[in-house]
Amino acid sequence: MANSKKKQVPLRLSESLYNAIAAWAEDDFRSVNGQIEYLLTECVRQRKKTGGPARTFDVPPDLDLH
């Protein structure tokens, strides 16, 4: 990232979401924190590229993370 100064943000995740991100992070050789930062960065890049969200939801998606 261009800005080396980072903000700390408390984040609450369900256990199943955390476990899914942790497994994904391990596959990508990242920490969980690094994986979340990577995913958020990619979402922001996509939004800037398209001028809006890649996908919108009227209702939050039902993620089957079990």
The answer, yes or no, to whether residue 60 has pLDDT greater than 90, is: no
pTM above 0.75, yes or no: no
| pLDDT tens by residue, 20-45 | 999 999 999 999 999 999 999 998 88
How far apart are the C-alpha atoms of 15 and 39, rounded to whole Å?
A: 18
**Where are the chain's structural domains?**
15-50
CB neighbours of residue 35 within 10 Å:
19
The answer, yes or no, to whether residue 47 has pLDDT greater than 90, is: no
How far apart are the C-alpha atoms of 34 and 40, rounded to whole Å?
A: 10
User: Which residue bears the tokens 């995740």?
Assistant: 13
User: Which residue bears the tokens 């993370």?
Assistant: 65
- Quick one: average pLDDT of 8-12? 94
